[in-house]
Amino acid sequence: MDATPSTSVWRRWLAAALLLAAPLPGWSQQQAEADTLESIVAEIDAYNIPLGPLTAYVVRAIGVNKSKSCWDLPEAKKILDAIRASKGGKK
């Protein structure tokens, strides 16, 4: 079966599209970490802690006051552990 120019062009376009659609290395790990961070922040939010006491938990856990949007995964885990230790909950 001979490949006509149109078939050849179509195959090259399809191959390029498949390469572009492939996830970048490390992307799934970054997405998983972001999802985990979001779930930890949601669990912290579920405690309905007012801003003042939440600030105290944050400073006690990580040593500095940071906004939720600035937390990274290890910091969020430490903060959640501090809240669980005080309020109770599974570790």
Going from N- to C-terminal start, the domains of the chain cover 24-87
Task: Report pLDDT for 78.
Answer: 96
Residue 27 has pLDDT above 70, yes or no: no
What does DSSP assign to residue 24? P
Residue 77 has pLDDT above 80, yes or no: yes
* Distance, CA of 77 to CA of 69 (rounded, Å): 14
Task: Report pLDDT for 19.
Answer: 64
Q: At what angle do helices 73-87 and 51-62 cross, to 10 degrees?
A: 120
Mean pLDDT of 19-28: 66
Mean pLDDT of 22-35: 75
Q: 5 or 30, which is more confident?
A: 30
Q: Chain-wide mean pLDDT for the chain?
A: 84
